[in-house]
Amino acid sequence: MNKHTDQPAAENPEKLSDLKVTEPKQWAAGIPAVYEAFKDVMAETGPLRGMGALLKMNQKGGFDCSGCAWPDPDDDRSPMAEYCENGAKALAEEATTKKLTAEFFAQNAVADLAGLNDYEIGKKGRIAQPVYLPADATHYQTITWDDAFKKIAGKLNSLASPDEAAFYTSGRTSNEASFMYQLFVREYGTNNMPDCSNMCHESSGTALTEVIGIGKGTVTLNDFYHTDVIIIMGQNPGTNHPRMLTALEKAKKNGAKIIAVNPLHEAGLTAFKDPQTVKGFLGVSVKLADIYLQVNINGDMALIKAIEKLLLDAEKENPGEVFDLGFIKDSTVGYDELVKDIEQQDVSKLCQTAGVPLEQVKEAAELLKNKHRIIVCWAMGITQHLNGVDTIKEITNLVLLKGSIGKPGAGLCPVRGHSNVQGNRTMLIWEQLKDNEAKKLKEIFGFDPPKEKGYDTVEAIKAMHEGKLKFFFAMGGNFLSATPDTDYTANAIRKLDMTVHVSTKLNRSHLVHGKEALILPCYSRSDRDIINGVEQIVSCENSMGVVQQSKGVLKPISDQFLSETQIVCRLAKTTLSHKTVVDWHKYESNYDYIRDVIAKVIPGCEDYNNKIRQPGGFYLPNGPREGKFKTEKYGDKAAFSVTKLPDHKLAGDEYMLTSIRSHDQFNTTIYGLEDRYRGIHDERRVIFMNEKDMQNAGLKAGDIVDLFNYHGGIERVARLFVVIPYHIPERNTAAYYPETNVLVSIDSVAAGSNTPVSKRVVIKIKKHTPPI
């Protein structure tokens, strides 16, 4: 096994003895969440720095949390705590006073740092100055910003074609930096812009664009307060979007019912103790899920089809009472074809495939039967499947049948997992450029953008392997730990001539690198950004299409930081030199100038500078939210889709594995080793299994096993996982990522979106034997 990739420090059986297991929680948040949040902030920042920043996080005129993309309330924001436990931990990570100086890099070889696990790497501190790793060197060494830009520019200008370079984007990047980044990349001459959306909600964007005309959700936060039913599918809000719990609590108080659909029983879908209320502070919880449908991994499409069949039967008994026939007639196409497909379905077989008892499915259908204000939420548990695009189309079918779109309290809600990942795409971060977008860029800036489609994330990794890419630039993120097929991806990265990462903290992607490597330290979201004496603001877009300003409040711990926007502009000036037609110096000097051109290029962003300075920002246009559809294939109609169920056959010794987050992490950032909601403490290499499966396999709690995947005839292995009995369906298992990414084949992708299939990995489980 490659010792740089699959968490080598964890490959010590003695370390696994630190694991402690307790009973899973039946509720989320409460006083423990407050304690854990403040504990991290105090440890990393101290009381004055940390608490002062928390009071400004997610507030109007403050800075946007760098964690999830859940929206802020339009009006009733808490003056004390408009953040969650994991948001506070995200702040602690970036606001830490620990920094990595020249001495740190001189004392720590890359190979030694690579021997640490991701948690240990991330806790080292902020990178305090640019560093450079020469070819064949063992240690990063400091480098000036000018020399760093010259080295990068020299490499870019030496390539045989701009298409030998790829430029990745992480969700944290602001709208201003994103816009200038894509402008630089396209003036340089390529559309190779893979981004983190390729690995998460690309399936949502692909499906929704085709059937309703926009690749975003259609609801606002206020819709949650006026709905009848909320369906939460493939999402664990208690860990991944904790502030959503407050919205769910308010919805419940207003009479809404909640249907939870998930393979694991999760505390954050069961009950919520709001620490900002007297009852929550005293330990009184609010029940969330009224119906909990514990589906098989990727049983969601079968479940939705079963509900649709039951609703169709009810509609036939009472025409026009169950389906919104007026809406269907006026605003959709494909209804008759869908009905024919539904009529052929066998509800009993669908329930068996979904793994949900028929009586529970009937209960859910009965709840939905006479309701027309329905919101369906989903996240990675839906998108990261082979049939992810089609499952989202099936979810849309249900919403269209009920006419639950384009009205208050109803619609589609793909919940984005990273702050401003949606804004990146709005600002044209994509491996494709539409004709009207290219025309606008040429009109405003005077150059012809490239027309050919570039590489997405999976395509970029394969191109590295094949030698088609020589250079890789990452604007934020932890590319290696976020991507599939870890060993394959690591080997691909090592074939590159140069890798460059714009980062705040050290991560594994800095330690698995090209022949040369650079790390460029940037401001965090909470850092003050002052240029020529003027305090700058940036802007971000949340999951519901609200764009608002973000202004850092903390003094940076190093005078060597640059903003992402400054890095892009200075690199562009150095690389393109006299060839450029863009005034990069102007845009670097004041971000208002950037917003002036965003206003001319991006629809809905007219008068951008003024709009983002309004308290709470502004909503981008969203036709389907208003009941207006404009699709490429169907004109002014939304489209029903006929989908095909996936094949879930398993061999006798195979299981389905879904990757999950611990409660103590955000994406690839590991805050700690405590997953208290699931009762896992001081260890991450665990696999949750059904007790009957354990008995049949001759396994018991605490056994150490190795996990194997054989997709495409290639053996992939993740070693040393502790077996944990858990409330999960038979033949279903779950384990944390990025530790399990090594099992996800680079060739296992969602049809239509090319998103890696991380939520249904077919594995075999064997008792651990040391590798030969």
Q: What is the pLDDT of residues 216-244, one digit of tens each?
A: 999 999 999 999 999 999 999 999 999 99
The closest of 133, 138, 28 to 85, measured between CA atoms, is: 28
pLDDT at residue 511, rounded to an integer: 98
CB 709 within 8 A of CB 734: no
pLDDT over 90 for what percent of the chain? 90
Return d(Cα 465, Cα 480) in angstroms, integer: 14
pLDDT digit string (tens) for 300-327?
A: 999 999 999 999 999 999 999 999 999 9
Q: pTM (2 decimals)?
A: 0.96
pLDDT at residue 13, rounded to an integer: 66
Query: Is a pLDDT exceeding 80 seen at residue 646?
Result: yes
Return d(Cα 750, Cα 304) in angstroms, integer: 19
Q: Which of 56-70, 167-181, 575-589, 734-748 has the lowest mean pLDDT?
A: 56-70
**78 confidence band (pLDDT: 50, 70, 90):** confident
pLDDT at residue 418, rounded to an integer: 84
The closest of 667, 588, 661, 612 to 421, measured between CA atoms, is: 667
pLDDT digit string (tens) for 665-722?
A: 999 999 999 999 999 999 999 999 999 999 999 999 999 999 999 999 999 999 999 9
pLDDT at residue 74, rounded to an integer: 82
pLDDT at residue 9, rounded to an integer: 44
Query: Is a pLDDT exceeding 80 seen at residue 639?
Result: yes
- Where b means 16+ CB within 10 Å and e means fewer, 641-675 reads bebebbebeeeeebbbbbbbbbbbbbbbbbbbbbb
Structure tokens at 523: 């401001």
pLDDT at residue 770, rounded to an integer: 79
pLDDT digit string (tens) for 178-220?
A: 999 999 999 999 999 999 999 999 999 999 999 999 999 999 9
Average pLDDT across the chain, whole number: 95
